Amino acid sequence: MPVKKVRIRFPNGKIKEYTFEGKKSVLDLVGDPEGGFVAKSDDKLFDLFVPIPEDVEFIDILDFNDKEGKEVFWHSSAHILAQAVKRLYPEAKLTVGPPIENGFFYDIDFGGKTLKPEDLKKIEEEAIRICSEDYKVRREEMSSENAKEFFKKMNEDYKVQLIEEFGLPVVSVYWQGEFVDLCRGPHIHRTGIVKSFKVLSVSSAYWKGDPKNPSLQRIYGISFPTQEQMEEYLNLLEEAKKRDHRVIGRELDLFGFYEEAGAGFVFWHPKGAIMRSIIEDYWKKEHINSGYQLVYTPHLLSGKLWEISGHLSYYSENMFVFEKDEQIYAVKPMNCPAHILIYKSKVRSYRDLPIRFCELGTVYRYELSGVLHGLMRVRGFTQDDAHIFAMPEQLEDEVRGVLNLMRKILRKFGFEDFEVELSIWDPDKSEKYMGTPDMWENAINSLKNALEKEGLEYAVEVGEAAFYGPKIDVKLKDALNRRWQCTTVQVDFNLPRRFEATYKGPDGKDHYTVMIHRAIFGSLERFLGVLIEHYAGDFPLWISPVQVRVIPIKDEINEYAYKVKSILEREGFRVEVDDRNERLNYKILDAEKHKIPYMLIVGKRERENGTVSIRKRKEGDKGVMRLEEFLEILKSEVS
């Protein structure tokens, strides 16, 4: 029997070499590695309890601190959740249970039963029991035919359907105690690794997201290797609740949703509209200064355009489509085809490129009602959209320009920390993608070079590119260290060919333009939601909807209060006067509640001296000064 050597790096960074004969698992060699629970070699994950693959010479043991390790931990926790459900509700039918950004969920068919809080509590208690019982996890492979028969006998109809859809000769299942689930893995090696488990909530879902399919219960959960991590997470959750943009938006009277108007459509109230307008004006100024040309395109376009783009064939279920005078029309779900029409309005030369069109374009998409969530997921939203038409050799510089502009704009709003992903094709599955290998190689290298020259660290996601080109996704981190997807830079090989978007090259021939889709905020609605939660509604002075509230002590001072307001407004500041017949302390508390940055208290003495008594939010009394001095403070803070 041949002797094999393998080097193993443990979560603490130590590396050990092992020599063995025959087939051994990592657990056979090292025992139970404290804290580690999944193996990785050459970007491939495998269970600690399965035989080490023949060609593997170096193994990393991952723990919860590793992104992939965390996903495996939460995926295994979804199995524990499902096991708890099956113990309590044997007739329930399982569908899928993936890890998500924070925790996991499992979609389950309860035969029409709607879970109540007391049901969730029972499921959580049973899951905790399963963790404490510390079942060993094992993997078994079955032929698809045997697996279908196996799950049919268990009345797991959805699992049978999944096996048929996979179309594989062999599938894998995972056992823990009496529980078994269809899964490709990998998983943790025993349930006792999960030391803290909590069921968070339940919502409705549809099988495969289609309302025509059976209704399911989606149970969300979270788990950790230590109780301390759970307590830290729950504290973060409490803080997140305090920052909920839906609650703050209502308290500050920024926006609203109205049942009569339909779900998922935002109404901006005056204060929210002011904030939005400030952000839009800043966005336009920065784009024009960066060589973009502002365009406006219609909200409603002929179905013929969407046939050319392919949206009617592949995206129509997410579009608002209707017929009028025997013509098909659609409310636009995106702006790109309209920008291409402007590009094609004249013959373009290589000397004209790059051309950068930008638009704050409102688009409409039919999102399922179950996924709508305040400003974060709506049916009508405004993309801070832009499309760059360039030659292949200009791609790298254009992407660098986008990344530079992204950092400048997002830093203006207080975001400094970013997480970047580069999604590329899987060259082993080239048949799934448009374009030639050379096109992909050139585009990917251009994106990589741009990221590296801009000093941005990034993770490469193989196989995650769209069929029509690679892309860069940038997630910003907020005050609670949560990640929000905002900026996207997407190369497109598809639409220029569908629309015959070309330019005359130096050789006098037509060449397809390289098209870059990009957005900095993603959508104004979502970005404002993120902004509200990042600042908990306590905005920087320059974007605060009301910057100053003047509070007269008595009615006889109202005239002076309005004079102060008028002077400040002439200098471009947003000011209110609180002349209600209320006590001074009440007015001050109300201004604090509404997160007004500055309060100016004015009485008889201030009127006589042409001064104001200043209070700053959260800092209190800042003294008395002449109005001209206060204006300089405001200007300095805004600049």
Q: Which of 159, 517, 518, 587 is catalytic?
A: 517
Q: Is 385 one of the catalytic residues?
A: yes
**Whether the Cβ atoms of residue 221 and residue 77 lie closer than 8 Å to each other:** yes
Distance CA 534, CA 268 (A): 19
From 451, 611, 537, 558, select the one nearest 251 (Cα to Cα).
537
Distance CA 497, CA 513 (A): 9
Measured over the CA atoms of residue 582, residue 588, residue 589 and residue 594, the dihedral's sign is positive
> 597-601 long-range CB contacts below 8 Å, 24 or more apart?
597/539, 597/541, 597/544, 597/547, 597/548, 598/541, 598/547, 598/548, 598/549, 598/634, 599/548, 599/549, 599/550, 599/551, 600/548, 600/549, 600/550, 600/551, 600/564, 600/630, 601/551, 601/553
In the structure encoding, which two tokens stand for residue 612, read together?
Answer: 């104001």
Q: Is 365 one of the catalytic residues?
A: yes
Distance CA 344, CA 206 (A): 42
Q: Is 161 one of the catalytic residues?
A: no
Q: Is 461 helix (H, G, I), strand (E, B) or coil?
A: strand
Distance CA 188, CA 47 (A): 7
Q: Is 517 one of the catalytic residues?
A: yes
DSSP code of residue 469: B
Distance CA 538, CA 521 (A): 20
Q: Is 183 one of the catalytic residues?
A: no
Q: Is 538 helix (H, G, I), strand (E, B) or coil?
A: coil
Q: Which of 47, 107, 181, 385 is catalytic?
A: 385
Q: Is 339 one of the catalytic residues?
A: no
Distance CA 514, CA 443 (A): 9
**Whether the Cβ atoms of residue 570 and residue 596 lie closer than 8 Å to each other:** no
Q: Which of 387, 518, 595, 615 is catalytic?
A: 387
Q: Which of 311, 471, 518, 587 is catalytic?
A: 471
Q: Which of 47, 75, 119, 336 is catalytic?
A: 336
Distance CA 342, CA 348 (A): 11
Rg (CA), the chain: 29
Distance CA 180, CA 559 (A): 77
**Whether the Cβ atoms of residue 182 and residue 162 lie closer than 8 Å to each other:** yes
Q: Is 352 one of the catalytic residues?
A: no
From 613, 562, 611, 607, select the one nearest 584 (Cα to Cα).
613
**Which helix (H) or strand (E) is 7 found in, with range?**
strand 3-9
**Whether the Cβ atoms of residue 294 and residue 288 lie closer than 8 Å to each other:** yes
Q: Which of 187, 218, 365, 400 is catalytic?
A: 365
**Whether the Cβ atoms of residue 54 and residue 3 lie closer than 8 Å to each other:** no
Distance CA 172, CA 181 (A): 9
Q: Which of 83, 217, 383, 490 is catalytic?
A: 383
User: Any idea which residues carry the catalytic annotation?
Assistant: 336, 365, 383, 385, 387, 471, 517
